[in-house]
Structure 1
Amino acid sequence: MKDEQKGTHERVNQIWVDDAIALHRKYLDGRNGGTRLFLSFKNARKLKFSEQILDTAEMVGAELVEANFQKTSLARVNLFGANLANANMKGCSLVKSDLRGVCLENADLENASLAAADVRNGFILIRKPDGTYLPVKNDEATSFDGINLKDADLSDAKLGRVIGRRTNLTNVNFRNADLTDAVMSNSDVSGSIFIGANLTNADFSGCVFHGANLSGAMLNNTNLEGADLTAAHFSNNDLGYANTTNTSLPRSLETLDHTLRELLESHLLWINSLGQKGRQADLTKYDLQATDFAGINLQAAELSFSNLSNCTFLASRLNMANLTHAMALNSDFSDTDMRGIKLENANLTGASLRHARLSPMVILGTQGQKVAANLKNACLDQADLENADLSHADLSGARLRLANLTDTDLSHTRCLDVDFTGADLRTANLSGADLRGCKGLILP
C-alpha cells in the first residue's frame, strides 16, 4: 500500500520547496505575489523545512518521511493523512493543526507543541476519473508508535483513538487533552501531566507513571493493568472505575511494621551510632503525602519512588538522602540541608527550596572527598529556589521552567541541556557553570 501511495504523489525537490516557502512567507506577510504553500499529495521525502514559518500551509496526504521540520512553526497547518514517519520535528509548533490520520511512526517530536491540535484517526479518499473513490490512506488510527514526545505540549489536544505503543511520553503536558480510546500501552509517561485529561477507555497497560500527575483525570474504564503508579500523584477515588489488575501502587503507611514516629526515632539512633544501632529509614514507594517532616533528621534516608507531595521539610536534614524518582509537588524544603542529595528524575514542581543547601557533602573519614547533589532530569518547574545553594550540583537535563532563581548559587553547576524557559535568573551566580545546550537561558 505504501509503495502504491508513493507512486500517486508528485515528487518535488529542495529547490521547489525553497521557492514555495519564499512565496509562503510573502503570503503570511500580506505582500504582493505571495502564495500559500500547497504540498498536498506531493512527495517531499527527506527534504528540509527546518526553522521556517509555515503556518496555515496545506499538506494533506503529503509524503514527508524523514523530512526535517526542526524548530519549524506549523500552526494551524492541515496535515490530514500526511506521512511523517521518521521525521525530525524537534521543537516544532503544531498548535491547532489538523493531524487526523497522520503517521508519526518513529518521528521525533521532543519539545514540540501540539496544543489544541486534532490528532484523531481519519482516512483519505480521492476521486478517480470514473467517479469512484480510491483510499489513499486508510489506517485504523493515527500512529504514534515508537515516537519521541518527550517534553511535548499536547494540552487541549484531541487524540481520540491514536495508537502510541512503546512511545516516549516523559514530561508531556496532556492537561485537558482528550485521549478517549487511545492505545498507549507499554509507554513511558513518567513526569507527564494528565490534569483534567479524558482517559476514558484508554489503554495504558504496562505504562510507567513515575512522577506523573493524574489528579482530576477521567479514568472511566481506563486500562492500567500492569502499570507502575508508584510515585504518581492521584487520589484513590480517581482509580475507582479503572482496571488496576496487577497495577503497582504506592504503599500505605498502615503497612509499616512500626509507626512512622518509631521508624524516624530508630533512624536517628542509626545516624548517631554510625550504623551500629537502630535502623536506616526505608520509605521507598510509600505514599507520604502531606506529612510534616519539619526539623526531622532524615540524613541518608531511602525515599526513592515515594510520594512526598505537599510535605513540609522546613529546616530538616536530607543530606545524602535518596529521593530518586520521588514525587514532591508543592512541598516545602525551605532552609533544608540537602547536601549530596539524590534527586535524579524527581518531580518537585511548585516546591519551595528557598535558602536550601544543595552544595557538595564532605564524607567523614575521607581526605575531603565530596559528593555533589544529583538533580539529573529533575523537574523543578515553578519551583522557588531563591537564595538556594546549588553550587557544583549536577542539573543535566533538568527542567526549571518559570522557576525563581534570584540570588541562587549555580556556580560550577553542570547544566547541560537544562530548560530555563521563563526562569527568573536575576542576580543568580552562574560563574563556572557548564551551560551547553541550555534552552530559554536569558541572562539579565
Structure 2
Amino acid sequence: MSEPAVTALYKLVEKKLKSHAQWLDNYQGERADFSLLDLTSFDFKRLNLRGAKFTGATLCKSVLVAADLREADLFTVDLRNADLTGADLSKCDLRGASLRGAVFNYANLEDADLRDGTLLVADKFKGLAIRSHRHDTDGLPLADLAGVNLTGARLSGATIVQTDLTGASLAGANLSNADLHKSNLADVDLTGADLSNANFTGATFCGAVFNGANVRGCNFENAELASADLDDVDLSEAKLDGAKMVRELSELEVDIRKILRDHAAWIASFGDQGSRADLSGMDFSRVDFRGFNLRGARAQATNFTGANLAAVELTMADLSNAVLTNVNLTSAEMSGVNLQSADLNGANLRNANLGPTELRDKGGDLTHRSWPTNLNGATFRDANLDGTNLRKANLTDADLRGTRLDNAKLREADMTNALVDEA
C-alpha cells in the first residue's frame, strides 16, 4: 500500500473512531463500520469498540490488548497473529473468523459465537480450528487460550486440537460434538457445560472441574482424568477405553489408610506416638489423597503421576526425586517441602504455598526461624504455577521452561542457573 493510501486509511479509521465514540456516548455519531478494510498491524489497544462492525476485515497482527469489543461484529474477520490479551469479546460474533496465531490470554469470550471458524490447517475440518499448542506443522505460532473466559460460549462442532486451555472458564459452554483431542484442559472450569459427543481423546484434565457437566457420548479414550473433579458426574455413556482414572485405595499394595493414621498420631504427638509415614519408592499414581495429612512425610522417589493432592497438607514433606507429573496440587500447603530433583512436568500448582515454613518447638511456639522450600534441580516443564507462593524458594538449576508463572510470588527466590523461557 502506497504511503498516501496508508495516510488516507489512518485518517479514515480515526474519523470512524471519533464518530463511534459519540455514538456510544449519546448516539449522535455513527456506529463504526470497518467492514472489508485492511487494518493489518493497527493499534486498537484499550479502545472502546463495543458494537463496532468488522465484517470481513483484516486485522492480522493488530493490537487489541484490553480492547472493549463487546457485541462487536467480527464475522469472517482475519485475526491471524493478533494480540487480544485481556480483551472483552463477550457476546461477539466470531463465526468464520481466522484465529491462527492469535493470543487470547485472559480475554473474555463469554457468550461469544465461535461456530464455523475458518480452519488453520486442513479444509476438511468444520468449525473453529485452533490447532496445535504453540506451533503447527509449518512452524507458525497458533492460538493460546490459557486463562480465557469462555463462559457460556457456543463452541458446538468446534475443532480445538492440541490447544492450551489451562485455567480457562468453560462453565455453561456448549461444546457438543467439538474436537479437543490432545488439548490441555488443566484447571478448566466445565461446570454445567454441554460436552455431549465431544472428542477428548488423549486430553489432560489435571484439576479440571466437571460439576453438572453433560458428558453423554464423550470420548475420553487415553485421557488423563485421575486428578479431575468428577464427583456426581455420570460417565456411564462416555467412552473411557485407556483413560487414566482414579485408583481405589483398596487396589494399593499397602494399607495407606493405616500408614496415614499412624502418621497423624506422629504429627499430633510431635513424634512421641505413631510413626512417620515413609512412602519412598512406592507407586501412588492416580491416587486421590484429598483429605489426608502428609505433613512431614517421607516420599523420596515416590511415583505420584496423575495423583490428586489438591489442598493436601505437605509442609516439610520430603519429596526429593519424586515423580509428580500431571499431579493436581492446587491450593496445596507445601511450605518447606523438599522437592529436590523432583519431576513436576505438567503439574498444576495453582495457588499452592511453597514459601518458607516457620519453625515451632514442641510446645507449638515459634522459634523465629524458617525453612525454605527446596526446588533445586526440579523440572516444571509446562506446569501451572499461577498464583503459587515461591517466596524464598530455592529454584537453583530448576527447569521452568514452558511454565505458566502468572501472578507467581517469587520474592527473594533463588533462581541461579534456572532455565526459563526468553521474553
Q: Is the structural similarity TM-score above 0.5?
A: yes
Counterpart check, 1:378 vs 2:385: yes
Partner of 1:318: 317
Counterpart check, 1:260 vs 2:246: no
Partner of 1:358: 356
Q: Structure 2: which 5+ runs fail to align? A: 133-142, 265-270, 272-277, 360-370, 416-422
Shift of 1:241: 1.6
- Structure 1 window deviating more from structure 2 (199-208 vs 143-152): it is 143-152
- Which residue among 322, 337, 356 is the counterpart of 1:339? 337
Partner of 1:79: 74
Q: What CA distance in whole angstroms lies between the structure 2 residues aligned with 1:99 and 1:66?
A: 17
| Kept after mapping to 2: 8 A contact 1:230/1:306 | yes
Where 1:13 maps in the other structure, the secondary structure is: helix
Partner of 1:28: 24
Partner of 2:106: 111
| Kept after mapping to 2: 8 A contact 1:100/1:120 | yes
> Compared with structure 1, are the counterparts of its residues 37 and 299 closer, same or farther at alpha carbon in structure 2 (3 Å cutoff)?
same
Partner of 1:390: 391
- Which residue among 145, 167, 173 is the counterpart of 2:131? 145
Q: What CA distance in whole angstroms lies between the structure 1 residues aligned with 2:326 and 2:192?
A: 23
Q: How many residues align?
A: 360
> Compared with structure 1, are the counterparts of its residues 224 and 265 closer, same or farther at alpha carbon in structure 2 (3 Å cutoff)?
same
> Compared with structure 1, are the counterparts of its residues 100 and 348 closer, same or farther at alpha carbon in structure 2 (3 Å cutoff)?
same
Alignment of 1:10-159 (within 5 A): 13-30=9-26, 34-121=29-116, 140-146=126-132, 147-159=143-155
Residues 392-443 of structure 1, C-alpha deviations (whole Å, 9 max, x = no match)? 4669744559xxxxxxx9641479xxxxxxxxxxxxxxxxxxxxx9xxxxxx
Q: What CA distance in whole angstroms lies between the structure 2 residues aligned with 1:139 and 1:14?
A: 37
| Kept after mapping to 1: 8 A contact 2:126/2:159 | no
Q: What CA distance in whole angstroms lies between the structure 1 residues aligned with 2:374 and 2:213?
A: 40
Counterpart check, 1:288 vs 2:274: no
> Compared with structure 1, are the counterparts of its residues 152 and 360 closer, same or farther at alpha carbon in structure 2 (3 Å cutoff)?
farther
Read off the aligned partner of 2:185 and give its amino acid letter: V
| Kept after mapping to 2: 8 A contact 1:14/1:48 | no
> Compared with structure 1, are the counterparts of its residues 172 and 29 closer, same or farther at alpha carbon in structure 2 (3 Å cutoff)?
same
| Kept after mapping to 1: 8 A contact 2:60/2:80 | yes
Alignment of 1:289-304 (within 5 A): 289-293=289-293, 297-298=297-298, 300=300, 302=302, 303-304=304-305
Read off the aligned partner of 1:250 and give its amino acid letter: V
Q: Structure 1: which 5+ runs fail to align? A: 1-9, 124-136, 273-277, 362-367, 402-408, 416-436, 438-444
> Compared with structure 1, are the counterparts of its residues 231 and 285 closer, same or farther at alpha carbon in structure 2 (3 Å cutoff)?
farther
Counterpart check, 1:230 vs 2:226: yes
- Which residue among 234, 242, 245 is the counterpart of 2:241? 245
Shift of 1:198: 0.9
Read off the aligned partner of 1:160 and give its amino acid letter: S
Partner of 1:170: 166
| Kept after mapping to 1: 8 A contact 2:393/2:414 | yes
| Kept after mapping to 1: 8 A contact 2:350/2:384 | no
> Compared with structure 1, are the counterparts of its residues 284 and 51 closer, same or farther at alpha carbon in structure 2 (3 Å cutoff)?
farther
> Compared with structure 1, are the counterparts of its residues 51 and 288 closer, same or farther at alpha carbon in structure 2 (3 Å cutoff)?
same
| Kept after mapping to 2: 8 A contact 1:190/1:208 | yes
> Compared with structure 1, are the counterparts of its residues 390 and 35 closer, same or farther at alpha carbon in structure 2 (3 Å cutoff)?
same
Where 1:238 maps in the other structure, the secondary structure is: coil
> Compared with structure 1, are the counterparts of its residues 220 and 378 closer, same or farther at alpha carbon in structure 2 (3 Å cutoff)?
same
Shift of 1:247: 1.7
Read off the aligned partner of 2:51 and give its amino acid letter: T
> Compared with structure 1, are the counterparts of its residues 242 and 328 closer, same or farther at alpha carbon in structure 2 (3 Å cutoff)?
same
Q: What CA distance in whole angstroms lies between the structure 2 residues aligned with 1:265 and 1:103?
A: 56
Partner of 1:200: 196
Shift of 1:161: 1.5
| Kept after mapping to 1: 8 A contact 2:40/2:59 | yes
Q: What CA distance in whole angstroms lies between the structure 2 residues aligned with 1:245 and 1:252?
A: 18
Percent pairwise identity: 23
Please tell me the root mean square deviation across aligned C-alpha atoms, in Å: 4.3
Where 1:169 maps in the other structure, the secondary structure is: coil
Q: What CA distance in whole angstroms lies between the structure 1 residues aligned with 2:355 and 2:21?
A: 51
